[in-house]
Structure 1
Amino acid sequence: MGGAVIDVESKDLVLVTGGTGYVAGWMIAGLLRNGYRVRTTLRDPGKQGAVKKAVEGAVGDTGNRLTFATADLLRDDGWTGAADGCRYVVHVASPMGQGASRGTDLVGPARDGTLRVLRAAAAAGVERVVCTSSGLAARTPTVPGERQPLADENTWTDPAEPGLDEYARSKVLAERAAWDFIRGDKSGMTLTTVLPGLIVGAAMTRHVSPSLELVARFITGKVPAIPHVGFSITDVHDLVDLHIRAMSHPAAANQRLIAAGDFLWFADIAQALREAFPDRAHAIPKRRLPDWIMRASALFSAEARFMVPLLGKRREFDTGRTAQLLQWRPAPSRDAVIRCARSLVENGIV
């Protein structure tokens, strides 16, 4: 994924939150490739070197075009300075739910952190903030049967939905708080929210995100049986491309954009990986995991609790509005999964 960074000194400064994150890393790389200057926030300033090294592995020498600010979503300190001088803000950072113990508060950090970012951006005269939300925030009410109603930009998940996990709830409430803020803001700043599916793609470092870890577990035989669960999938590079389009395109102002690709059951993912990696096919599962085992596992596994409400539900999205406004279409999900797996193999991660 290498390549020279465009040296266009007149390009604007963009703040990307949460620079150590998987999506943030590729967001920084994508912005630099398009000639923007980037400032990214870190909770720990000691990680500047690692982030710079990872980004430069993707785009080449960044020179003085990548800078850092210290800021934490849980604290007010640092956000005013981080946003100062920026034309755009891309708010990617959010607490993750996978692996969290029962009672972990994800809503507070996600919602309050988003509001800290928005307040700082408005005070700094930022033109537009693009927030990464989630397709989990656009879930239609469950109906009997496998195929669920198609969701679009007008669909909102009910945060009081029985069984809704804390991560999904945090994404809903954080996005709602962002829209409430922008409706009352007098600065003239605009907002765009982007709602992806399960995000997969090339690895930037050896530390992989939970979604990449899922693909890694399939290809290394660490999934003994396949639960009847699936997701709409978004390639990380398509997601970055959409954020950059949404950041500056007039038509994206104050829009909610669906960025979820086509739906794959876990069984489809396993089949695609067996076909793409015949030398590993013996390790990739074929056997179906009974639903009752997944439900029982939810008593002690946060990962299982996250997946139980998704059992047997085919949830799909309409990206027509996004395509109409920004001429954006996601890559086929099968291709995205295979590219992700190939990156994990080629980089020696699996």
Structure 2
Amino acid sequence: MAQDRVLVTGGSGFLAGHCILSLLQAGYRVRTTLRKPAGEAALRQALAGAGIDAGDRLEIAICDLMDDAGWDAAAAGCTHVLHVASPLPAAAPKDEDRLIRPAREGALRVLRAAHRSGVRRVVLTSSFAAIGYGRAVARPYDERDWTDTAASGLAAYPKSKTLAERAAWDFVDGEGQGLELAVVNPVGIFGPLLGPDLSASILLVQAMLNGKLKALPRLMFGVVDVRDVADLHLRAMTDPAAEGERFLATAGDFLTMQQIAQALKDGLGERAERVSTRVLPDWFIRLAGRFSAAARQAATPELGRRKTATSAKALAMLGWQPRPAAEALVATGESLFRLGLVSPPRP
């Protein structure tokens, strides 16, 4: 293991940083991709804050998902690849191709480079967004399910993740034969930040703690801790049984936004005094959507819909054991306060 080098794409991201941390803690050498060299110092500082002096066990490759340059060199000499990088903006883009093209074409660039370099296995970070949208099921969603990309009103992000994952499976079934692939499909990822990079899920908690969400739409989310998602990536990377499999990652039943808010209040006490648990009626959200882009984004087919998913496969096949959802949410808030990304309430 000490000689194994793992490529992790998108090293500046929330999940990728935790994957790098877990790999280094497990004794691997890591090469990670960044779009700009300036990101290396911030990454090393974040790892140092978590107690890891990466030294020469961490290498940096400068690559972009939309450019062929550098990917063969990044994959060279690596035994495994964790392809974590994928665009996820805080707001939906006007042109869905701004998400779809980097997700799909980027995944294929990484897979082709891995195949040419003789990598044994790629673990692709997909999403529950590729599983549970555009069609309803009368049971918890699981790995058998796929999002319907032709569904009316489907947002760009679930479409991008579905098309990218489909393309990855098609690749290993075709020109990439011989390359092993496993896929991790997490729900909303929460947990402790290593640095100031804020994913969409973290922005939600930040807005709640800052008191910017005065009332909440009736939307439901799955919750999983970033440390557990990183752990699942390593299990999918090393366990022979994981080849050719998808693994949905959730800490349990989905939570309403009101339940997420209440978990923050219960776990953070006075520091969460600005968190609102007031719920807006669906009709109000739909009416506001006529005048507000943010409200229009919330007024989706998901509004008021109850849904959940199961990680039974990951638990049974890989022995994965996620933390409770409330622990992940409180850890998110704790790290936001620690990093000064949420101002403490006034006395």
Tell me whether the two structures share a fold, i.e. TM-score over 0.5.
yes
Kept in 1, the 8 Å contact 2:13–2:197? The answer is no
- Structure 1 residues 267 and 113, CA, compared in 2 at 3 Å: closer, same or farther? same
| Partners of 1:294 and 1:244 in 2: CA distance | 41
Kept in 2, the 8 Å contact 1:79–1:120? The answer is yes
Tell me, yes or no, if structure 1 residue 112 matches structure 2 residue 105: yes
Deviation at 1:51, TM superposition (A): 1.5
Kept in 2, the 8 Å contact 1:151–1:316? The answer is yes
Query: Could you tell me which residue of structure 1 aligns to residue 154 of structure 2?
Result: 164
Kept in 1, the 8 Å contact 2:285–2:298? The answer is no
Alignment of 1:287-298 (within 5 A): 287-298=278-289
Query: Could you tell me which residue of structure 1 aligns to residue 203 of structure 2?
Result: 213
Kept in 1, the 8 Å contact 2:72–2:114? The answer is yes
Deviation at 1:304, TM superposition (A): 4.6
| Segment drifting more, 38-47 vs 307-316 | 307-316
Tell me, yes or no, if structure 1 residue 192 matches structure 2 residue 182: yes
SS of 1:283's equivalent in the other structure is coil
| Partners of 1:165 and 1:238 in 2: CA distance | 27
Deviation at 1:347, TM superposition (A): 2.6
Q: TM-score, normalized by length of structure 1?
A: 0.92
| Partners of 1:336 and 1:346 in 2: CA distance | 15
**Aligned with 2:260 (options 269, 285, 289):** 269
Kept in 1, the 8 Å contact 2:12–2:197? The answer is no
Deviation at 1:335, TM superposition (A): 1.6
**Aligned with 1:18 (options 10, 23, 30):** 10
Q: Tell me which stretches of 4 or more aligned residues in structure 1 moved more than 6 Å.
A: none
**Aligned with 2:84 (options 72, 85, 92):** 92
| Segment drifting more, 41-50 vs 167-176 | 41-50
- Structure 1 residues 11 and 107, CA, compared in 2 at 3 Å: closer, same or farther? same
Query: Could you tell me which residue of structure 1 aligns to residue 227 of structure 2?
Result: 237
| Segment drifting more, 90-99 vs 185-194 | 185-194
Query: Could you tell me which residue of structure 2 aligns to residue 4 of structure 1?
Result: none
SS of 1:52's equivalent in the other structure is helix
Kept in 2, the 8 Å contact 1:98–1:303? The answer is no
SS of 1:89's equivalent in the other structure is strand
Once the two structures are superposed, residues 107-132 of structure 1 have per-residue CA deviations (whole angstroms, 9 ceiling, x without a partner) of: 11100000000000000000000000
| Partners of 1:176 and 1:303 in 2: CA distance | 31
Tell me, yes or no, if structure 1 residue 317 matches structure 2 residue 339: no
- Structure 1 residues 298 and 113, CA, compared in 2 at 3 Å: closer, same or farther? farther
SS of 1:45's equivalent in the other structure is coil
**Corresponding residue pairs, total:** 339
**Structure 1 unaligned residues grouped into runs of 5+:** 1-7
Query: Could you tell me which residue of structure 1 aligns to residue 300 of structure 2?
Result: 308
**Aligned with 2:54 (options 37, 56, 62):** 62
Deviation at 1:162, TM superposition (A): 1.1
Kept in 1, the 8 Å contact 2:130–2:161? The answer is yes
Kept in 2, the 8 Å contact 1:21–1:93? The answer is yes
Tell me, yes or no, if structure 1 residue 335 matches structure 2 residue 327: yes
Q: Equivalent pairs: percent with the same residue?
A: 44
Kept in 1, the 8 Å contact 2:89–2:200? The answer is no
| Segment drifting more, 278-287 vs 329-338 | 278-287
